[in-house]
Amino acid sequence: MWYEGQQHQWDEQPDKKTQKFFEENENIVPDFTSVDDPSVLAESKDDENWVIDNTQLPWIKVGIDVPWEDIYEEANHLLYTSCYTMHRPNSSGWMSLCVHGMSTVHTNVPEDYGLEDQAEYDLSDWTDIAKFTPKTKQWLMDEVRYSPFSRVRFMAVLPGGWLAQHRDRDKTIGVGATNVAINNPDGCKLVMGGWGTLPYTPGSMFKLNTGYEHAVWNRSKEPRIHMILDGDQSPYFKQKVNEGYAQMLGA
């Protein structure tokens, strides 16, 4: 058995609204030039923050190597041994675990715990779970290089699990959190309204524009494990985002 001690029911179909969202959006072929003009690339070269703050693209691929097999071994073992916590309502089989944050199980924003936004920085550090993820921690410090990190989470969607369509913010200008596919089994998709399915492969990293409506549905037989990275991006990381942006617009 791949997961011990699971007491929650999760192998159910999404609600009809979420299923309809997938039917209408998962096969769309995106046209990135419909919202961002390639001519603005000159501005992005002069200002390292321009893309992150101003793009309306739904996602940007970030060219940082991810040792996904090593990370998957650590993350999946923690899932198997019941270390993850259930994450947020309006979902089924969605689980989370903080490697860096306010605590291992405080996987939401500070507001959800009656705290000020700044608590995400003031109270965050490597959690007790990080001692069980040495390869993941080393990769984060050596290759991702946020300065500092705030929340860094493993996010698992169990077989048959789903996350209803939602937006994480009101605006569609600028990109937000970084999402890293540790594995991404066939049959599991993250779909954005009007844009289609994100082209995840194991070890791929994307900046997401979570102002667009999006949903997840794991129609495979194995857990999907990703990471979500929050914190202050270094100039090195911003450069990688800008390079990915230029490639997407054909520069």
Residue 151's pLDDT is: 97
**Helix runs in 57-205, H state only:** 68-80, 119-122, 134-139
Residue 90's pLDDT is: 77
Residue 33's pLDDT is: 85
Strand runs (DSSP E) across 11-58, as ranges?
Answer: none
Beta-bridge partners for 233: none
Q: What is the mean pLDDT of each run of 10 residues along the chain (251 residues)?
A: 49 85 97 81 74 94 98 97 87 93 95 94 97 98 96 96 92 95 97 98 97 96 96 95 89 59
Residue 13's pLDDT is: 81
The count of other CB atoms within 10 Å of the CB of residue 217 is 25
What DSSP letter does each residue of 154-192 carry, written as one string? EEEEEEEEEEEEE-SSS--SS---EEEES---TTEEEEE
Strand runs (DSSP E) across the chain, as ranges?
Answer: 59-61, 85-86, 91-101, 125-126, 149-166, 178-181, 188-192, 196-197, 205-208, 214-218, 224-231
Strands 214-218 and 205-208, sheet pairing:
unpaired
Judge: domain 16-248, CATH 2.60.120.330: yes
Beta-bridge partners for 181: 226
Q: Are 175 and 60 in contact (CB under 8 A)?
A: yes
The predicted model scores a pTM of 0.93
Write phi, then psi, for 157 (nearest 5 degrees).
-115, 115
3-class secondary structure, 216: strand
Beta-bridge partners for 197: 191
Q: Are 9 and 30 in contact (CB under 8 A)?
A: no
Residue 2's pLDDT is: 44
Q: Domain coordinates of the chain in residue numbers? A: 16-248
Residue 88's pLDDT is: 77
